[in-house]
Chains A and B, each alone.
Chain A
Amino acid sequence: MDIKQQFVMREVAGEYLLIPVGKTSLDLNGMITLNELGAEIWKMLPEVKDEAEIVQRILADYDIDEATATADVAEFLGHIRELSIII
């Protein structure tokens, strides 16, 4: 999945931070905090083709049922879609 804006992900004091770089910081002046699952999804975004693939990868790595994983992934993607980070 294509990330439309530029961010650097950092882990500071146990928190996952998405820090805007380049011109992205004009639209998003500040930072986005992610939970652990959000950080995992963020890392896989450039490698996956769609939402279903993210859910499959999460199911492989976490002890979680498919309905919960699907809902969590949709919620996360919804948030970053609202911020125009993905289409």
Chain B
Amino acid sequence: METKISRYLHAKGKRLGLPINGTFELTPRCNFNCKMCYVHLTESEQQKRGRELTADQWIKIGEDAIKAGTVFLLLTGGEPTLRPDFLEIFRTLKAMGLIVSINSNGMLLQGELFHALCEDPPSRINITLYGITNETYEKQCGLPAYDRVITNIKNLREAGIEVKVNMSVTPDNSDDLQAVYDKAKELGAHVQSTPYMFPPIRLHPELCGQNFRLPADEAGCMMAEHEFANSTEDQLKRRYDALDKGILLPSDRDEECLEEAEGEAMHCRGGVTTFWLDWDGKMAPCGQMSEPAFDVLKLGFNEAWQRTRAAAAAIRLPAECSVCPIKNICHPCAAMCYCETGNFNKKPEYVCKMRQSYIGRMQELRDERFGGR
């Protein structure tokens, strides 16, 4: 859950136009090969498309971001730990006064890297667990990596490092979801799962509206069932009270990009207090969007941020969604609309169906457990 001070800084940053939270996507390369990934390129594909920024370039951008007001920074990829200079980048940015978290698949978080992180820890490591067996991993990621990843998570937890487990649920691993929740609990790690896979349009514009993912109605049912099974009575009561008022409580949405609804404008933090810098130095409101994007190397950090803010403010979501009775449950974001339809102002049908199915299943589960209302 987000801390009070983070919320406060975002609220103040919003008034003042400050980039409080940023993401540096250090590389599109990865040692896994997941079918639903929106960023992964092989080394040769990456070289054809562009050049990764150097450690010095990332550090210089970090300095500029700090001057502009950035406090929280996420290092992601691809798999960021694949870079031989990963530790140099991480340690330097952290020592400058950024609160740095890391996204990783967990595979390389051992040996020298593990010991270095114990000496100089990130605020959190978000590790995606893709299943609960080596077999699921092989099917999902192309490598039987489960045993190694889970050992690495265990060691990080024992060293006192905060780990959050993310699970991207797909047709290849959906049977493992409950076991992942149970395992994360055993390891003392918070877990967040989602069956919603953004279409990978940054890599393949022709895949607009498509991805390797569950059908929308199954995805919605699954969200409801796992939320129901993994919440306390109190949590469920609060969730149902909110749903009855047409509101989805924040914990179910992506905590990094949450912002209160604001009429028809984008209601996430992208381009408001948050920016994403992709691996070749283009700034966007969020990592799922291929546009609007502004070249930080050419424009400088401040100008890229100002243009990102202006472009995000100009985005309008679908008029149809703005009058929908479940708009505060569904929360279609700009990236969802764009990735599903190729436009910011067209209704994302997959998301709509998924949320309708979620609401229906939540109501059925309530009736089954507590009887009719």
Contact = CB atoms under 8 A, between A and B. Distances in A.
Nearest to A17: B71
B97 A10 contact: yes
Interface stretch (A21-29, A44-52, A71-79): A21-29
B120 A23 contact: yes
Given A26-B160, A29-B123, A30-B3, A15 B12 contact: yes
A86 interface: no
Given A26-B121, A33-B5, A8 B96 contact: yes
Nearest to B159: A26
B298 to A, nearest CB: 27
A39 to B, nearest CB: 14
A60 interface: no
Interface string B12-54: 1100101010000000000000000000000000000000000
A14 B120 contact: no
A19 B98 CA distance: 7
Contacts of B161: 26
Nearest to A19: B97
B5 A23 contact: no
A14 B12 contact: yes
Interface in B134-183: 160-162
A17 B122 CA distance: 17
A30 B139 CA distance: 38
A29 B96 contact: no
Contact of A13 (B18, B99, B123): B18
B187 interface: no
A29 B69 contact: no
Given A26-B161, A33-B5, A12 B71 contact: yes
B119 A31 contact: no
A12 B91 CA distance: 21
B121 A13 contact: no
Given A8-B96, A8-B97, A30-B3, A13 B16 contact: yes
Contacts of B98: 19
A23 B121 contact: yes
Contacts of A29: 121, 123-124, 162
Contacts of B3: 30
A43 to B, nearest CB: 15
Contacts of A9: 97
B258 interface: no
Given A15-B12, A17-B71, A22 B97 contact: no
A16 B96 CA distance: 15
A21 B93 CA distance: 10
A13 B70 CA distance: 10
Given A13-B9, A13-B13, A29-B162, A21 B71 contact: no
Nearest to A7: B97
A52 B372 CA distance: 68
Nearest to B160: A26
Contacts of A14: 12
Nearest to A9: B97
A22 B95 contact: yes
B94 interface: yes
Interface of B: 3, 5, 8-9, 12-13, 16, 18, 20, 66, 69, 71, 94-99, 118-124, 160-162
Given A22-B119, A29-B121, A30-B99, 7 more contacts: A10-B66, A12-B20, A19-B98, A19-B99, A25-B120, A25-B123, A30-B5
22 contacts: A8-B95, A8-B97, A9-B97, A10-B71, A12-B9, A12-B69, A13-B12, A14-B12, A15-B8, A15-B9, A19-B71, A21-B94, A22-B95, A23-B121, A25-B121, A25-B123, A26-B121, A26-B160, A29-B123, A29-B124, A30-B99, A31-B71
Interface of A: 8-10, 12-15, 17, 19, 21-23, 25-26, 29-31, 33
